[in-house]
Structure 1
Amino acid sequence: MTTRLHGGPDHQGVPLHDFSTNSNACGPCPAALAAVQRADATRYPDAGYTALRAQLAAFHGVDSARVLLAASASEFIFRVTALVAGRGGRAVWLPPHSYCDYVQAAHANRLTVTAQPRDAQLLWACEPSSPMGCAHAGLAQLADGIDAHAMVVLDRAYEPLRLSGTPSPTPETAWQLWTPNKALGLTGVRAAYVIAPPGQCAAVAALEELSPSWPIGAHGVAMLQAWVSGETQDWLQNSLDTLRTWKARQIGLCESWGWHVLPSETNFFCARPSLPAGIDLPQALAVLRAQGIKLRDTTSFGLPGHVRVSVQQPAVQDALHNAWQQLLTSRQ
C-alpha cells in the first residue's frame, strides 16, 4: 500500500495544535462555511457544472470553456499525468523541492523523473512553492525550449495565501491549478479547478473524458461558489493582515530557540530546528506529537533536517513554545 505523507490528522487522530497543514489559521471563512452548511446534499450537482464554470470564468476573466473542475488538486495531478502518459509521454520534470503527489503520479503512470525540462513532456511548477513558500525561480522561462506538445502545470494552491512578494509572470502556455480550500480554512472540503491556456480545446476535452461524472459534490460546489464572492474575498484580504502579524511573532519565537528559519512569502515557512544532544528530528517530532502538537517533516519534499511550520494564532504558538522548552529541559 502506498504511504500517503501529508499534514493534518493521522493514526493518532486530530492534532490539538496543528502546524502541519497550510490551512488559513484565521478560518474557516464564515461566508464559505455557511454556504457549505447550506448545500443541498440530497441532489446531484449539475453534471456539467454550468453555473459554477461561468462564475469561476468571470472571476478569472476567461472563457468558461477554459475552466475544468477537479475533485481535488491531487486528483487532477493524477489525471493530467495519465493524459500525458496516454499520449506517449515518457518523463516528468519537478521542482527541486515539491509535493510528493507529483512524483507518485509519475510512477503510477510509468513516467520517469528527469532533471532537464527539455526532456519532459509534463513539467510541474508551484508558486508560492511548497514547502518553501517562495517564488519559483525561472518560472517565466520554464516553457522556453521545451517540446511544443509538453504541458506546464502551475500549482497555485498558495497564491491566495501570499503575505509578501509579487507573483512571477505566468507562462502563457501554463495550466493553472487552483485549490481555494486552504485559503478558506476548509481543507476537509475537497474541490479544485483548473484554468487551461488559450487554444487547448483538444486537451481540455481529453481531460474531461478522463474525469468521472460529478468529480465535485454539493459541498465542493458551494465552497467554490462562495470563493468568488466579494464577501469571501474581503474576508481573505483581512485575514492576510492578521497572518502577517502572527507570522512575525512565530518567526521570532522559532529564532529565539536557535532554529534557522528560511525565507518565505506565505503563511508557512521552513526551519531547521536546533536539536538537543542525543535526539534526532523524527524523535523530537514524535515527542511533540505525543503532546498534541504536529509539525511537518520536509524529508518527503527533498529537504531533510527541516520542518514546515504553518502560521498559527499566538495561543497555539505559545503551546509549541512550552512543549519545545519542556523537550529541551528533559534532555539536559
Structure 2
Amino acid sequence: MPEQPRREPAPVPVAHLAQNEGIFGPVAAARRAIAEAAGRGNRYPEAGTGALRRAIGARYGIPAERIVVAAGSTAVIHYLSLCLLGPGDEVVFGHPTFVAYRLETANRGATAVPVPLTEHGSYDLDSLLAAVTPRTKLAYVTNPNNPTGGMVARDEVRAFLDALPAHVLPVIDEAYFDYVEDPGYPDSIKEFCSEDRPVAVLRTFSKIFGLAGLRVGFGVLPAEIAKAARKIQVPYDVNGPAAAAALATLDAPEHEIAERRAATAAGRELLVSRLRALGFAPLPSVANFVQVRVGDARAVAESLAAEGVFVRPLGSWGAPDSIRVTIGPPSEMDRFAEVFGRVARRTPADS
C-alpha cells in the first residue's frame, strides 16, 4: 500500500482584535497616492510636511504653523513631553487610559498623577481638575477614552477648560474622533482651538482612515509649542507614501467615511449584544472597541489566542479583570463570538 502523504494541520483562523485598527484599509484616493509616491521612493519626503500641514490647516481654519505632523499622534505626545516636561513636573490624566501618557511622563523624570474614571468609563473632569497642583504642566483628556470607549460632552469639556489654571496645558486626545456620532460630542479643534485659552488637540489617520501601518497623525498646538516641537522633531519621520496618503485622505468623499463609521457602529452594537447574551456587561463605548470585565483577563486572552483570536488584556493598564476588543471585519467578529462563547463558559466573569 503506498504511503499516504502527511497532512498538515488546518490553519487556525486568526482574528486580530487587539490593536484598535480600523476595519478598512486606505480610502481609494489614498491607495492611488501611495502607489504614485512609491515610485518616488528614491527621494526624501518634503521636509516639515508643509503641504500636509497647510491642507490640515485649511480644513480646520487653523494656521499651519500651529500644526505638528508626526509618525502617529503618539509621536506628537513624545515631542510635547520633550518640550514641556522635566523632573518635578506633574501630568494628570484618567485611569485607565492610553499608556503613552504615563510612559512619556516617566521618561522625562516627571510625575504621573492618574485619576479614576467615572463608573461609565469616561474622564471625570471634576476629579481631574482637583488633582491639578502648581507643579502640573499637562492635563490629558482622552475623548473618547481608550480603552473604555467613554466620552465627555462639550459642555463638560468647556467647563473644564474654563476652570483649568493658566499654567497647565490641556491636551485633548481625539484619536477616535471620526467614529463618534453623539451630537453632544465636541469637535475640539473647531470649538476650542480658536479661543484665547491655549489648547492642544491630537488626531490620527491610523483609525477610521486605515493608515495605521503608515504612521501619520497630527497635533494642533499653541504656536510657540508647535514651533519648538518641530525644531526637535526627527527629520523625515513621516515618510513620503504616508504623507501622500494622508493628504489624499483629507479629500475623501464624506460618504466613504460615513460608510466606515456606520459599519463600525453596527459591529460594535452586535458585539455588545453578543456579550450581554453571555451574561457580561461591557462598558458603553462610542469608539471602535469595547471594554468588558471577564474575571482573569490574562487567562481569557491566552485562551482566545490559543485559538487564533487576539484581544487586549488590560492588566498593564490597571484593569486586570478586563479585556478590550476592537471591532474588526465581520468574519473576525464571528470568530471572536464563537471562541469567546466557549472560553467564557470555562472562565466566568467576576461580575
The two structures have a TM-score, normalised by structure 1, of 0.85
* Structure-2 separation of matches of 1:29 and 1:38: 15
> What is aligned with 1:281?
297
| Deviation at residue 282 of structure 1 after TM alignment | 1.2
Q: Secondary structure at the match of 1:177?
A: strand
Change (3 A) 1:213 1:89: farther
1:126-205 aligned within 5 A: 126-136=142-152, 138-168=156-186, 170=188, 171=192, 172=195, 173-196=198-221, 200-205=222-227
* Equivalent residue letter for 2:264: L
| Deviation at residue 331 of structure 1 after TM alignment | 7.5
* Equivalent residue letter for 1:111: A
> What is aligned with 1:99?
98
The range that moved more, 141-150 or 77-86, is 141-150
* Structure-2 separation of matches of 1:15 and 1:104: 34
Matched, 1:241 2:256: no
Paired residues in the alignment total 309
| Deviation at residue 181 of structure 1 after TM alignment | 1.6
Matched, 1:125 2:141: yes
* Structure-2 separation of matches of 1:207 and 1:223: 23
Matched, 1:297 2:309: no
Q: Secondary structure at the match of 1:49?
A: helix
Q: Secondary structure at the match of 2:47?
A: coil
Question: Could you say what the CA RMSD is over the residues aligned between the two structures, in angstroms?
Answer: 2.4
| Deviation at residue 90 of structure 1 after TM alignment | 0.8
Q: Would the aligned equivalents of 1:251 and 1:261 in 2 still touch at CA under 8 Å?
A: yes
Max radius of gyration: which structure? Answer: 2
Q: Would the aligned equivalents of 2:138 and 2:168 in 1 still touch at CA under 8 Å?
A: yes
Structure 2, gaps ≥5 residues long = 1-11, 116-130
* Structure-2 separation of matches of 1:151 and 1:29: 34
* Equivalent residue letter for 1:203: I
> What is aligned with 1:4?
none
> What is aligned with 2:334?
318
Q: Secondary structure at the match of 1:261?
A: coil
1:60-139 aligned within 5 A: 60-85=60-85, 90-114=89-113, 116-119=131-134, 120-136=136-152, 138-139=156-157
- Residue identity over aligned pairs, in percent, reads 23
Q: Would the aligned equivalents of 2:24 and 2:208 in 1 still touch at CA under 8 Å?
A: no
Query: How far does the alpha carbon of each residue in 1:245-294 deviate from its partner, in whole angstroms, 9 at most, with x for none?
Result: 22222211111121211111122111113x6xxxx321221111111101
* Structure-2 separation of matches of 1:293 and 1:263: 22
Q: Would the aligned equivalents of 1:19 and 1:294 in 2 still touch at CA under 8 Å?
A: yes
> What is aligned with 2:231?
209
Q: Secondary structure at the match of 1:121?
A: strand
Structure 1, gaps ≥5 residues long = 1-13
* Structure-1 separation of matches of 2:19 and 2:48: 32
Q: Secondary structure at the match of 2:23?
A: coil
Change (3 A) 1:163 1:243: farther
* Structure-1 separation of matches of 2:56 and 2:13: 34
Q: Secondary structure at the match of 1:260?
A: coil
| Deviation at residue 324 of structure 1 after TM alignment | 2.3
| Deviation at residue 307 of structure 1 after TM alignment | 1.2
> What is aligned with 2:272?
251
